[in-house]
A and B are shown apart, each in its own frame.
Chain A
Amino acid sequence: MKVLLIDINKCNGCYNCQIACKDEHVGNDWSPIAKPQPDTGHFWMKVTDIVQGSVPKVRVRYMHDICQHCDDAPCIKACKSNAVYKREDGIVIIDPNKCTGNRNCVDACPYKTIYFNFDLNIAQKCTMCAHLLDEGWKEPRCVDACPTGALRFGEEEELKELIADAEILFPEYGARPRVYYKGLPNKYFVAGSVYDPDDDEVLEGATITLTNQQTGATSTIVTDLFGDFWFERQEPGVYQLKMEIDGYIPLIINDIEVTKDINVGDFELRKGR
């Protein structure tokens, strides 16, 4: 059974995967696996820029949306024409010859990764390049084109260790995806800095404590040589931030709402006990 692993931490955002898919499927007819993809507008492997934070604490993560090739695929159940099927290797295919264009699968997919081809009146999506795998290729085009190793494809057994700490997208849907993720943008950074306005200096070595006001969970880090702190991958919630360094009056900020990555700003600490 095949799996795809998408490690967002390793993605440099080159979009090769999105483009390789188009290179393979636009203008090429791979029936019975897939008919040609329209010239533009379909993204069977879709990359989305997620810009996080605010100046000067900003990062970009590149989300990848692709058919999850679910083991309990809503699209298979929703199709009234029996056009959607699962192969022995786990890949879910919409048979372009059986599809009648009723779009039930498009509506049923909770991951919104099925597209409709108005010219051909069929639903279309990622095939994992099954037409190539069937000829001996070991990877779909998107994986072959990936320069960073952010995309890995193979037998579940072979990639077992790599996917052990990976996540699936929206487990609550119960669709049992065959696509795994690392670094999903579902936890957030809380970043900022501290400085001494009187000396006009950053404060390196300050102890910063971030406490989730609901759960009480606490993390502590020390500011770097720019006086910066970055708490990585925090759960959404309401937080307290405590900033301390010897010789300065501690500063506490309450009720920081973390619903996305956040640059809480540059904080002045004043000398005192």
Chain B
Amino acid sequence: MQKKGNTVQTGTDKKTEKTVVKGLSFLGVNIDSNMVSVDVKDNKIIRIRPFHYDWKYDVEPWSIEARGKTFKAGTKALIPPFTLAYKNRVNSPNRVLYPLKRVDWDPNGERNPQNRGISKYERISWDEATDIIAAEIRRIIDKYGPTAILTQADGHAETKVVHAPHGCCCRLLDLLGGFTMQSRNPDSWEGWYWGAKHVWGNEPLGKAAYQSNIVPDMAEHTQMMLYPGCDPETTTWGWGGQTVSQLCYWFSELGIKQVYICPDLNYGAAVHADKWIPILPNTDAALYLGIAYYWIEKGTYDKEYVDTHVVGFDKFKAYVMGDEDGIPKTPKWASEKTGIPSRIIKALARAWASMPTSTAHANGGGLIRGPYATENARLEVCLLGMQGLGKPGRHMWSTIEWGMMGDETPPHKFGKSIPIPRRKRYPNLDPASRGPSLINPECPQIIPKDKFHQAILEHSAENPMTWYGTVHCRELTENQFVKYQYPEPGCSEIHMIWTDSPSLMTCWNDSNYIAKAFQSPKIEFILAQHPWLENDCLFADIILPVATKFELDDIGVDNLTAEFGAVFLDPKCVEPKGESLSDYEVVCAIAEKLGLLEELTQGKTVEDWIKVGFDASGIEDVISWDEFQEKGHYVIGHDPDWYKYEVALRSFAEDPENNPLTTPTGKLEFYSQRLAEHFPDDEERPPIPKWVEKGESHDERLSGDRAKKYPYLVVSNHPRWRVHSQHDDMQWLREIVTCKMIGPDGYAYQTIWINPKDAEKHGIRNGDVVEAFNERGSVLVGAYVTERIMPGVVSIDHGARYDPIVPGCLDRGGAINTITPRNTTSKNATGMVSQGFLVDIKRADLDALRREYPEAFSRPYDRGSGLMRERVIKD
């Protein structure tokens, strides 16, 4: 079928059997994006290509006008490379093809937990596997109660609905009396959530959750855009495509000065920056304090706004100017902390005060996931407040997750989340989801994901673990004052883990310690179900093969793509690999053995659930089920009245008394009475945001004694060529120079960016294998010697597949999270720390390592995609 204009290659070409429309994003939880057309023939994916929205519908793209120029959205999906190359992932030699059992795990005898991560696997039948699993579930519940089973009800994965992972077992376990939920922390926006919320609310995220129509406003009024630790060319890809890239080019065209403040010349800075200000990782709080000092000293902040919109400015000012602690936070003081020359700090402060300035964020980056990142985030909001936050051109722009929670972000009255022209509707398929419900207030016991290791290894009923917040990463601020406990009275310790998103090892904190938790004799049974034999799967006792979304029928909704929304059938393209089943079908197979199949399915087939989704989607009134099935998708355009919605925070800026924030005072709280009341002695997150050099939780600054031994700060961004742990096996991405560095042994090592000056000090040349290490362990990485990183800092993207040489000590895959700090953001902020920590580096002696660990260095390895299943399967 050919259509007008530029809309080519939409339709069935004669060599292909059929073309189907799918979403291919990696948020994982019901809401998809990155729409593609997939051409399929004879059970083979021929090609995956960007979806053209005008294939079957007449569509009208939105446009914005500013300064005499027009930005017009396109009519094709601007998909990222890992969506385009996804064939690699479906056909990966690392797919799990049939049920596997660890050879030395005997449920009726010796379980050998100490060998998890070491011993190999043997094939078993589905019948045997489900018999064992059903018996273990019964046994564990009988012996300890249902809360002895821990489920991982979160993560990032292929986005599916009926077959969604992220705790697909929760509904079955509910039928058995409940479970313990591994609760999700806001892992990509830790500082905003645990910090900035105390200044400006902005529930539930803490970063710019309400940003209705700010892109048009910035296009018209903003003169400088700051990107502090923000990479708009990376993190946005996984669940929104590449439209933000287009907007950044447009902002340059409009003359908006784009200033990147980050340790690395990230991928956005590489092509968009008018100015790169290298800053030591996780020292943004000091930069902001230096700027605040300069503004107060020169009187160049918006005093009238501060008088009417801010509480606690006097206390803040006293701290900044040194009246409180005798240390004026001058630009020179800030320079020593940040590595930025003081003259640049002053120039930045002058520029910010002299023109409408906004900041942009994309999750991750050096600013938001480090020790005490709360203070970086709080201070940024304070500075925005000192220059009239919400006035024309003065915003915080979140470049990611538009529409993740629909268009509404209750309870705030400015609760519109979409910074560009909003759509007519934001459909919802949650009723069809057979994965977990995201918030499970009924759950009798939780363990925070970032304290999982400590819960298992350090605590028991006699010595319970306590912490503040959070059942889910979308809780309101009040939840941060709720004290939780593990084990809860009446609940059991954990004795079984059931995971369908096994990525703790490469995505969470101090995962060498997590490896030890997996090996604990307390854990009698670990069940993993996953399409790929990667990361935490290597510690499981039974591994079940799961189908990818190309191998099953589902339904999907795209609320995240900027251009258009869509609901689509998400149909099966090829037969499942090996004996794989969908996550939902796996749970059904186990439910059948437990006699609970009928109750679990409620008598409905997958087709029935897809129809349930459609019927409740929010498009059922505009297209019939028959037409939807025939077309395969429905495209949703923008609301023609989009421009009538308020620019976020504009009414607060204009009249704060009648348009309060959700903070207790309704104002910007430079001093948080709530923090003062609940945590009066907390010097790590005090009532006024401060610079925390070190504290009881962390000692990760260059000024500390540890830095003598480990003198480099790590910036560990969300990966450019992966979405967290996903896609590391994609051979066409692994050929890209910034993705993998091929070592002299032919192994593709995770890149480490090292400045030439530092490389020279260590005799490291481009392409050398390097050990990055601290007292928590060591990872092997491949040197990318580049001017894209400032001296004294190394950059290692997180999420590389774990390939243990010695589990818990030494990793060949470059999973940097194995050696990140164990403690949370600060003692009362239960966030994860994965940035801004200390390591040393040295050239690896590969010959010596090979002699010492011959088995690890001789495992089967695919030159294209790397790790393959045979490496852990018994001959």
| Residues of chain B contacted by A22 (CB below 8 angstroms) | 85, 732
Q: Which residue of chain B has the shortest Cβ distance to A14 in the bound complex?
A: B81
Query: Within the complex, what minimum Cβ distance (angstroms) separates A87 from chain B?
Result: 19
Report how far A204 CA is from B344 CA in the complex, Å: 11
Binds A, one of B166-174, B242-250, B405-413, B623-631: B242-250
| Residues of chain B contacted by A11 (CB below 8 angstroms) | 271
Report how far A73 CA is from B8 CA in the complex, Å: 29
B8, B48, B864 interface centre (most CB from chain A within 10 Å): B8
Report how far A56 CA is from B343 CA in the complex, Å: 14
Query: For chain A residues 143-166, which have a beta carbon within 8 Å of chain B?
Result: 144-145, 147-148
Does A229 interact with chain B (Cβ within 8 Å)?
no
A28's partner among B8, B46, B84, B732 (CB-CB below 8 A) is B46
Query: Within the complex, what minimum Cβ distance (angstroms) separates A26 from chain B?
Result: 8
CB-defined interface of A68-100 with B at 8 Å, one 1/0 digit per residue?
000000000000000000000000000000000
Report how far A132 CA is from B267 CA in the complex, Å: 32
Query: Within the complex, what minimum Cβ distance (angstroms) separates A195 from chain B?
Result: 5
A26, A60, A204, A228 interface centre (most CB from chain B within 10 Å): A60
Q: In the complex the two chains form, is B276's CB within 8 Å of A226's CB?
A: no
Does B298 interact with chain A (Cβ within 8 Å)?
no
CB-defined interface of B1-40 with A at 8 Å, one 1/0 digit per residue?
0100010110001110000000000000000000000000
Does B791 interact with chain A (Cβ within 8 Å)?
yes
CB-defined interface of B335-357 with A at 8 Å, one 1/0 digit per residue?
00000001110111011000000
Report how far A112 CA is from B502 CA in the complex, Å: 44
Q: Which residue of chain B has the shortest Cβ distance to A40 in the bound complex?
A: B864
Q: A141-B47, A201-B343 are in contact. Are A147 and B242 (CB under 8 A)?
A: yes
Query: Within the complex, what minimum Cβ distance (angstroms) separates A119 from chain B?
Result: 14
CB-defined interface of B449-481 with A at 8 Å, one 1/0 digit per residue?
000000000000000000000000000000000
| Residues of chain A contacted by B245 (CB below 8 angstroms) | 12, 14, 147-148
Report how far A100 CA is from B233 CA in the complex, Å: 44
Does A10 interact with chain B (Cβ within 8 Å)?
yes
Q: A136-B2, A147-B246 are in contact. Are A40 and B787 (CB under 8 A)?
A: no
Q: In the complex the two chains form, is B787's CB within 8 Å of A55's CB?
A: yes
Q: In the complex the two chains form, is A201's CB within 8 Å of B346's CB?
A: yes
State the interface size on chain A (CB cutoff 8 A): 52
Report how far A145 CA is from B47 CA in the complex, Å: 12
Report how far A192 CA is from B346 CA in the complex, Å: 18
Does B241 interact with chain A (Cβ within 8 Å)?
yes
Q: In the complex the two chains form, is B47's CB within 8 Å of A144's CB?
A: no
Q: In the complex the two chains form, is B8's CB within 8 Å of A137's CB?
A: yes
Q: In the complex the two chains form, is A56's CB within 8 Å of B276's CB?
A: yes
Q: Which residue of chain A has the shortest Cβ distance to B267 in the bound complex?
A: A13
Q: A19-B84, A19-B85 are in contact. Are A139 and B8 (CB under 8 A)?
A: yes
Q: In the complex the two chains form, is B278's CB within 8 Å of A145's CB?
A: no
Does B50 interact with chain A (Cβ within 8 Å)?
yes
Report how far A227 CA is from B85 CA in the complex, Å: 44
Query: For chain B residues 177-213, which have a beta carbon within 8 Å of chain A?
Result: none
Binds A, one of B414-422, B505-513, B733-741: B733-741
Q: In the complex the two chains form, is A23's CB within 8 Å of B48's CB?
A: yes
| Residues of chain B contacted by A135 (CB below 8 angstroms) | 13-15
Query: Within the complex, what minimum Cβ distance (angstroms) separates A21 from chain B?
Result: 9
A136's partner among B8, B277, B787 (CB-CB below 8 A) is B8
Binds B, one of A46-54, A169-177, A244-252: A46-54
Does B275 interact with chain A (Cβ within 8 Å)?
yes
Does B863 interact with chain A (Cβ within 8 Å)?
yes
Does B49 interact with chain A (Cβ within 8 Å)?
yes
| Residues of chain B contacted by A242 (CB below 8 angstroms) | none
Q: In the complex the two chains form, is A60's CB within 8 Å of B788's CB?
A: yes
Q: Which residue of chain B has the shortest Cβ distance to A47 in the bound complex?
A: B736
CB-defined interface of A20-40 with B at 8 Å, one 1/0 digit per residue?
101110111000000000011
Q: Which residue of chain A has the shortest Cβ distance to B14 in the bound complex?
A: A135
Report how far A11 CA is from B267 CA in the complex, Å: 11
Q: In the complex the two chains form, is A14's CB within 8 Å of B271's CB?
A: no
Q: In the complex the two chains form, is B350's CB within 8 Å of A16's CB?
A: no
Does B765 interact with chain A (Cβ within 8 Å)?
no
Q: Which residue of chain B has the shortest Cβ distance to A22 in the bound complex?
A: B732
A19's partner among B14, B78, B81 (CB-CB below 8 A) is B81
CB-defined interface of B772-794 with A at 8 Å, one 1/0 digit per residue?
00000000000000111111000
Query: Within the complex, what minimum Cβ distance (angstroms) separates A207 from chain B?
Result: 18
Q: In the complex the two chains form, is A24's CB within 8 Å of B790's CB?
A: no
Q: A53-B787, A148-B242, A148-B245 are in contact. Are A226 and B78 (CB under 8 A)?
A: no
| Residues of chain B contacted by A227 (CB below 8 angstroms) | 343, 347
A12's partner among B242, B343, B863 (CB-CB below 8 A) is B242
Q: A19-B85, A40-B863, A144-B49 are in contact. Are A12 and B80 (CB under 8 A)?
A: no
B81, B277, B351, B737 interface centre (most CB from chain A within 10 Å): B81
Does B725 interact with chain A (Cβ within 8 Å)?
no
CB-defined interface of B223-253 with A at 8 Å, one 1/0 digit per residue?
0000000000100000001100110010000
Q: In the complex the two chains form, is A145's CB within 8 Å of B346's CB?
A: no
Report how far A132 CA is from B737 CA in the complex, Å: 30
| Residues of chain A contacted by B50 (CB below 8 angstroms) | 144-145
CB-defined interface of A231-269 with B at 8 Å, one 1/0 digit per residue?
000000000000000000000000000000000000000
| Residues of chain A contacted by B265 (CB below 8 angstroms) | 58-60
Query: Within the complex, what minimum Cβ distance (angstroms) separates B449 from chain A?
Result: 31
Query: Within the complex, what minimum Cβ distance (angstroms) separates A190 from chain B?
Result: 16
Query: Within the complex, what minimum Cβ distance (angstroms) separates B16 from chain A?
Result: 10
Which 6 A/B pairs are nearest by Cβ-Cβ distance? A60-B270, A138-B8, A147-B78, A147-B242, A137-B9, A40-B864
Interface positions of B (Cβ within 8 A of A): 2, 6, 8-9, 13-15, 46-50, 76, 78-81, 84-85, 87, 233, 241-242, 245-246, 249, 265, 267, 270-271, 273, 275-278, 332, 342-344, 346-348, 350-351, 731-733, 735-738, 755, 786-791, 863-864
Q: Identify 15 new A-B residue pairs, CB closer than 8 A, beyond the known A56-B277, A135-B13, A225-B351.
A: A14-B80, A14-B242, A14-B245, A22-B85, A23-B87, A24-B47, A59-B270, A132-B9, A137-B9, A141-B49, A147-B245, A147-B246, A201-B343, A201-B346, A228-B275
Interface positions of A (Cβ within 8 A of B): 10-16, 18-20, 22-24, 26-28, 39-41, 43, 47-49, 51, 53-60, 132, 135-139, 141, 144-145, 147-148, 195, 200-202, 204, 225-228
| 16 pairs, A vs B, C-beta closer than 8 Å | A12-B242, A12-B267, A19-B81, A19-B85, A22-B85, A26-B732, A39-B731, A40-B731, A55-B791, A56-B277, A58-B276, A137-B9, A141-B47, A225-B351, A226-B275, A227-B347
